[in-house]
Amino acid sequence: MQDIEVPVLIVGGGGCGLASSLFLSRQGIRSLLIERHPAPGRLPKARYVSQRTMELLRQFDVADRVYERSMPLEHISHIRWCTTLGGDGEMDRRTFYRIESFGGGSLAQHYAKDSPCESTLFPQVRMEPLLREMAAAEDKAQVLYNHQLQSFTQDEHGVTAVVLDRATDKEFRVRAKYVIGADGGKTVGPAVGAVLTGATDLAHMVTVYFRADLSQYWDDDFSMTTWFVNPEGGSWASGVLGQLGPTRFGRHSEEWMFHFSFRPDDPSRFEEASLLPRMRELLKIPDLTPDIIGIGHWTVEGVLADRYRWGRVLLAGDAAHRHPPTTGLGLNSAIQDAHNLTWKLAAVLKGQAHDSLLDSYEAERRPVAAANIQWALMTFQNHQLTDAGIGLVRGNAELSQANFRRYFADNQEGRTRRARLAQIMEVQRMEWQAHDIELGYHYDIGAVMPDGTPTPERDPLGQTYVPTTRPGHRLPHAWLERDGKKISTLDLVQPGAFVLLTGRKASGWAEAAAAVARKSGVPMAVVEISDEAAVRDTDRTWRYLRAVSADGAVLVRPDHHVGWRSMGRSDNPQGVLAAALSKILQREIAA
């Protein structure tokens, strides 16, 4: 049996595994990725990519390539609820409500001030091939599709895995120092004994991915997703239609996906022949003849692994947590896991940090996943409120139809019903305007040196994000100027390196950082942001956001999160900086 030795074995070529491969390569770490399928997934699944994920992709030069291919923000700026797409009856093609989403429309300014990146729509069916191409182009990475993890054992020094090459049916051994289990929970977690607990089997869903020209039916180009609620479509009447582009958007989108739920006990959910009549009925387009590209079955659940680390094996993405798709936190948080984990693996493998730094991956990311799961479950449940708001009574088409008439009626009751739905949408916003959930997650325990300030209260409805340089939080974005060009504070953080942001040369931080970096072997850039320096805070936003004085300093980790800050000048800058870095990297660093 042939053997391969590699520092990191990545199991799974979904968004999490592929991002891990690319992130590791760009931080100088060799890896082998194995994916059991011969090619990237054929179903669109995740579509929404948040501002935060785009920031991570920007750090690794992926963002521009995504924006070149993805859907412009204006086309994902609304979510809509309608009766039907076709038909010409009294209740057909009526819009119950339209809500702004994802930083589009009037939300644009509010979102733009907090990030250099816009959110976008880029289905997984296109994200994975792009990440695969970029990951495989790196010298440090080997990316093998059609290769499946069969089994593995671990000892004090590493992991030995048996991998099957499915094309030749031959097995080979891989010896790795660490394994990232990014396999969606199929093999690695069960093998180490991971237990995922939470809510399961909440709904049984079918997704039909198809090509069709639907332009004649639409009257807008801005709805990323539309809920269709046609009570004539049967007792489980509702379906969700989402546009997918790829080259034309809005009503001219060439591809679409349609999700609908079946009763869990309905055997016809697995019969392909039953799906098209169902779609025709729900959309009320009897002659719809889509070119079906793929069909997927999935269940809605909200589960979290009891642990993320088993010795040299670390779980990430869907292998560690799975959420309802409401709020779009799945792939986004899977890529965020990869971002958190890979800088730590790189630091440990380069001898810059103690192995115990890897414990902070679970300490930091698991609470975020736990909160995301609850958020996604709540936003999933919010749809019951919307159903009530429009008057949908599942299982009773007659009553639903009567309620819909009442909703649209030009009388006092109609106005009351519409006002009630508008109030409900103040809650529903949690799903599509979760700006703080997306940007404001932070780490109170882990690879951070707390400064004793209390955790700030967050907006309970997840919308208002408050930037802060408090340790554990994401470095706030502010536009700066360097060589006449606009850059973000986040652009100052290079892959695999710390950066110390200072405000005044005389404060002594630059000399301290250079000495600590030299002694510890940890790369640390120093950036002075001042009117006299190369990087200038021309619009004064950073001065307001940094919270520390001009003589203070903010130490930012390679993943954009603040590790430590000094509110002002220190008598012993080298000593305090070395102490902070020791705490973050879990090793003794002498001043």
Ligand X SMILES: Cc1cc2nc3c(=O)[nH]c(=O)nc-3n(C[C@H](O)[C@H](O)[C@H](O)COP(=O)(O)OP(=O)(O)OC[C@H]3O[C@@H](n4cnc5c(N)ncnc54)[C@H](O)[C@@H]3O)c2cc1C
- Tell me which stretch binds ligand X (CB under 6 A): 12-20, 194-202, 375-383, 504-512: 12-20
- Residues 51-84: b if buried by 16+ CB within 10 A, e if exposed: bbbbbbbbbbebbeebbebbbebebbbbbbbbbb
Pick the closest to residue 185 from 343, 299, 43, 281 (CA basis).
Answer: 299
Closest CB to ligand X among residues 290, 471: 290
298 makes contact with ligand X (CB under 6 A): yes
191 makes contact with ligand X (CB under 6 A): no
What angle, rounded to 10 degrees, do the helices at 330-349 and 359-390 form? 170
11 makes contact with ligand X (CB under 6 A): yes
Pick the closest to residue 439 from 468, 465, 477, 472 (CA basis).
Answer: 465
Closest CB to ligand X among residues 123, 471: 123
48 makes contact with ligand X (CB under 6 A): yes
- Residues 319-357: b if buried by 16+ CB within 10 A, e if exposed: bbbbbbbbbbbbbbbbbbbbbbbbbbbbbbbbebbeeeb
Q: How far is the CB of 121 from ligand X (least distance, A)?
A: 8
Helix (H) or strand (E) holding 162: strand 159-165
Pick out residues in 223-282 that bind ligand X (CB under 6 A). 259
- Tell me which stretch binds ligand X (CB under 6 A): 228-236, 304-312, 331-339, 528-536: 331-339
Closest CB to ligand X among residues 36, 477: 36
Closest CB to ligand X among residues 43, 402: 43
Whether the CB-CB separation of 589 and 498 falls below 8 Å is answered with: no
Pick out residues in 119-138 that bind ligand X (CB under 6 A). 124
372 makes contact with ligand X (CB under 6 A): no
14 makes contact with ligand X (CB under 6 A): yes
Tokens at 121, concatenated: 């729509």
Cα separation, 365 vs 446, whole angstroms? 9
35 makes contact with ligand X (CB under 6 A): yes
Q: How far is the CB of 298 from ligand X (least distance, A)?
A: 4
37 makes contact with ligand X (CB under 6 A): yes
Q: How far is the CB of 522 from ligand X (least distance, A)?
A: 29
Closest CB to ligand X among residues 225, 401: 225
Sign of the alpha-carbon torsion through 137, 139, 145, 148? negative
438 makes contact with ligand X (CB under 6 A): no
324 makes contact with ligand X (CB under 6 A): no
**Tally of CA atoms within 13 A in the half-sphere of 15 that contains its CB:** 29
20 makes contact with ligand X (CB under 6 A): no
15, 116, 503, 552: which one binds ligand X (CB under 6 A)? 15
Pick the closest to residue 487 from 95, 138, 58, 175 (CA basis).
Answer: 58
187 makes contact with ligand X (CB under 6 A): yes
Closest CB to ligand X among residues 53, 520: 53
The residue behind tokens 């749809």 is: 383
148, 226, 243, 336: which one binds ligand X (CB under 6 A)? 148
Pick the closest to residue 350 from 588, 177, 512, 488 (CA basis).
Answer: 177
Closest CB to ligand X among residues 242, 389: 242
Q: How far is the CB of 130 from ligand X (least distance, A)?
A: 14
The residue behind tokens 């004085």 is: 549
# residues contacting ligand X (CB under 6 A): 36
As a whole number of Å, the end-to-end CA separation of the chain is: 49
C-alpha dist (Å) from residue 331 to 48, 141, 274, 338 = 9, 22, 30, 11
- Tell me which stretch binds ligand X (CB under 6 A): 216-224, 317-325, 387-395, 491-499: 317-325
DSSP-derived 3-state class of residue 405: helix
Q: How far is the CB of 272 from ligand X (least distance, A)?
A: 18
Q: How far is the CB of 13 from ligand X (least distance, A)?
A: 5
Residues that bind ligand X (CB under 6 A): 11-17, 34-37, 41, 45-48, 124, 148-149, 182-184, 186-187, 207, 259, 298, 317-318, 325, 328-332, 334
